[in-house]
């Protein structure tokens, strides 16, 4: 395929990654939000066990994160993403053929390895490889589209499985990865431009940090984003059930679930419009505050539709803001040359949180009730906010001690 003109390269990059990330998230992590309680009776498994599939996926993705970072440095994001499409194909085929606990868990383990290769860190690294100094803005634009994964795939998967059953639905999604995503990664995604890898400051960190400050900053980013991931990703698979427990009808709950995705997109669109005027630290702080406000609203919602809508609006917007900020935080501390490696390292605690959160929240919800879930997620959100504020102090002190190396 001919090289894309320089002027169209960002658009082509975003278009390719938007499609493949939308499919990647929608057919794996987001999928159980609609399919989980349909699969459970057929396999004779409890709901907690079904949602354990997401935990296995994220656990395997977490463990493969450091290796993925090395592969991104050695082979480049294009080849890693292409390998992810192939692994997703085999994982979804295995899931379609699952007959019990062992085969179900093994299928999710394969999908988890595909997630390490084919989801967010490699996609963001592909942008940094191609766009250099413009990477932050382009990542925000990409996330504007990929945040639609649940809004697109929840109703789509629900409709398809009603026609052909859940097993054939997974077969169809597997072939989408092989026949659509793989060719897009290999033949349509633009190659990295020389300017993106040779621009001034490519290997220089944006602020001067001592080794101790650098370690502290990494740990604060890791733990604060892990807690935020625990709250946002852990709640998402049970969101429709939570809305039902709050009095929403199944149809209304599905509409509200789709609204959450739309609000996430609105948050990402706002971040894109703000451009360089936005900051990952400000975004993280504002997003977590919105999450806390949404949980308070949920606590008092009862079955009142306006309060349920308010909860979904705040939760969706806050989740979108936090997700963008979490993706861009490494660019605040590490050089663009380090981005792939550090993002993959940070994916380890984030994916570990994603691995345990769905099972924990499902168990709390089924055994202790909705109020216990609200208290838990509120406390974790506040702790994440506190750690973010400490990171803010470290960065402000570093900037006060010396001018940033890159403006």
Residues ≥6 apart with Cβ < 8 Å to 130: 9, 10, 13, 190, 191, 192, 193, 196
User: Which pLDDT does position 402 carry in this prediction?
Assistant: 61
Note the pLDDT of residue 42.
93
For residue 403, the model assigns a pLDDT of: 45
CA distance readout (Å), 37 to 5, 317, 338, 382:
47, 26, 41, 31
Can you tell me which residue has the tokens 């660019």?
331
For residue 311, the model assigns a pLDDT of: 83
Tokens coding 332: 């605040």
* pLDDT tens for the chain, residues 1 to 407: 445 555 577 789 999 999 999 999 999 988 988 898 899 999 999 887 898 888 888 889 889 988 998 899 889 999 999 999 999 999 999 999 999 999 999 999 999 999 999 998 899 999 988 887 677 778 878 887 777 787 789 899 999 999 999 999 999 999 999 999 999 999 999 988 654 544 545 555 567 777 787 788 888 988 988 888 888 877 777 777 777 777 677 777 777 777 776 777 777 777 666 666 667 788 888 888 888 888 888 887 766 778 888 888 888 888 888 887 787 788 777 777 777 788 888 888 888 887 778 778 878 887 888 788 888 888 988 898 899 888 888 887 777 766 444 33
Please give the Cα distance from 376 to 124 (Å, whole number). 31
The sign one gets for the Cα dihedral 347, 353, 359, 365 is negative
Domains present along the chain, CATH in parentheses? 1-200 (1.20.1250.20), 205-334+368-402 (1.20.1250)
Whole-prediction pTM: 0.75
349: its two tokens: 């605690």
Exposed e or buried b per residue across 14-34, where buried means at least 16 C-beta atoms within 10 angstroms of its C-beta: bbbbbbbbbbbbbbbbbbbbb
């Amino acid at each position: 395929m001919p090289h894309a003109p320089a002027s169209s390269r960002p658009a082509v990059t975003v278009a390719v990654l938007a499609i493949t990330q939308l499919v990647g998230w929608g057919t794996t992590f987001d999928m159980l939000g609609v399919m989980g309680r349909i699969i459970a009776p057929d396999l004779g498994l409890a709901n907690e066990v079904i949602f354990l599939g997401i935990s296995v996926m994220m656990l395997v993705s977490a463990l493969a994160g450091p290796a993925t970072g090395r592969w991104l440095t050695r082979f480049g994001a294009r080849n890693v993403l292409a390998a992810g499409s192939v692994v997703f194909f085999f994982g979804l085929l295995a899931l379609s053929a699952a007959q019990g606990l062992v085969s179900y868990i093994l299928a999710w383990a394969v999908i988890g390895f595909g997630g390490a290769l084919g989801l967010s860190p490699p996609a963001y690294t592909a942008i940094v490889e191609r766009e250099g100094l413009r990477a932050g803005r382009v990542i925000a634009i990409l996330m504007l589209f990929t945040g639609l994964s649940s809004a697109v795939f929840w109703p789509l998967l629900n409709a398809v499985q009603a026609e052909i059953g859940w097993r054939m639905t997974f077969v169809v999604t597997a072939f989408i990865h092989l026949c659509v995503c793989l060719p897009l990664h290999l033949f349509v995604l633009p190659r990295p431009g020389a300017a993106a890898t040779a621009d001034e400051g490519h290997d220089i960190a944006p602020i001067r940090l001592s080794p101790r400050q650098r370690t502290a900053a990494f740990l604060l980013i890791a733990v604060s984003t892990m807690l935020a991931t625990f709250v946002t990703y852990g709640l998402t698979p049970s969101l429709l059930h939570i809305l039902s427990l709050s009095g929403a009808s199944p149809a209304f709950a599905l509409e509200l679930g789709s609204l959450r995705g739309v609000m996430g997109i609105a948050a990402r669109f706002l971040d894109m419009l703000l451009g360089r005027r936005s900051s990952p630290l400000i975004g993280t702080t504002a997003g977590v505050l919105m999450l806390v406000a949404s949980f308070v609203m949920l606590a008092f919602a009862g079955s009142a539709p306006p309060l349920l809508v308010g909860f979904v609006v705040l939760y969706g917007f806050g989740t979108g803001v936090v997700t963008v900020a979490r993706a861009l935080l490494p660019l605040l501390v590490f050089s663009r040359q380090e981005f792939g490696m550090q993002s993959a390292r940070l994916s380890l605690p984030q994916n570990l949180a994603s691995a345990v959160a769905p099972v924990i929240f499902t168990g709390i919800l089924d055994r202790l009730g909705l109020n216990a879930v609200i208290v838990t997620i509120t406390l974790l959100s506040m702790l994440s906010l506190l750690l973010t504020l400490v990171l803010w102090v470290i960065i402000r002190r570093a900037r006060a001690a010396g001018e940033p190396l890159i403006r």
